Amino acid sequence: MPYFGYAKGDKKDEPRVLIRARVCADAIEAAGADRVVTMDLHSPQIQGFFKKSVDHLYAIPVLCEALDELKLKDVVAVAPDAGFAKQVRKYAGRLKDSVAIGDKIRCGHDEKAEIITIIGDVKGRDAVITDDFTITCNTLADIARVLKDKGANRIVACVSHLLLDSRGIEVLEKSAIELLLSTDTVPNLEAQKSKRIRIVSAAGLFADTVKRIHHRESVSVLFEDLYN
């Protein structure tokens, strides 16, 4: 299951509602699944919603290979908020760069957030914004604007799952983001309409994982450089 679609429903966020990710996990197991392979869950604790074994893969290796081709200089990896800081450090370790974090606040009860400032040195540097997925591209575009205001040079974004619709692509096209990289965990025909989007395949990573599971070999060795 390359993309676990109910991952944002990982907690009870309003009265008299179910924890949707838990319900989905129960349904998958009730249907007969005895092992789950997925990539970059929105909340890692969702693994605990399953009683069966879960292999949690990372898109970082395949996305960083694509980043290497861009020949970025003096790179800084940027998290959209403090909640993603742990994940962005994995990018920084793989790219051998430093980290900056967006200071984000939510003024209402909806999903809209505002980037106040960037914590970290980005002036004169190429920035790589990282996130697990994007739907509207608003957060990525907002943080790219602040990065430009802070003096960043080239700005690239990386997401594990691309959920953009046509409105999101319009936001991307008007933003300071030079290129948006994502894997093919979610088929997205709209992405083909934008020259600012590049899709890289995660099929090889999933194939290696399934092969290792079949032969009872370690899956974690595929991500050894992320744990150093």
- Residues with catalytic roles: 104
DSSP 196: T
Residue 189 contacts residue 166 (beta carbons within 8 Å): no
Residue 17: helix, strand or coil by DSSP? coil
Q: Residue 165's closest CA among 140, 194, 185, 142?
A: 194
In angstroms, how far is the first alpha carbon of the chain from the final one?
A: 27
* Long-range contacts of residues 190-196, Cβ cutoff 8 Å, at least 24 apart: 190/164, 190/165, 190/166, 191/162, 191/164, 193/166, 193/169, 194/169, 196/172
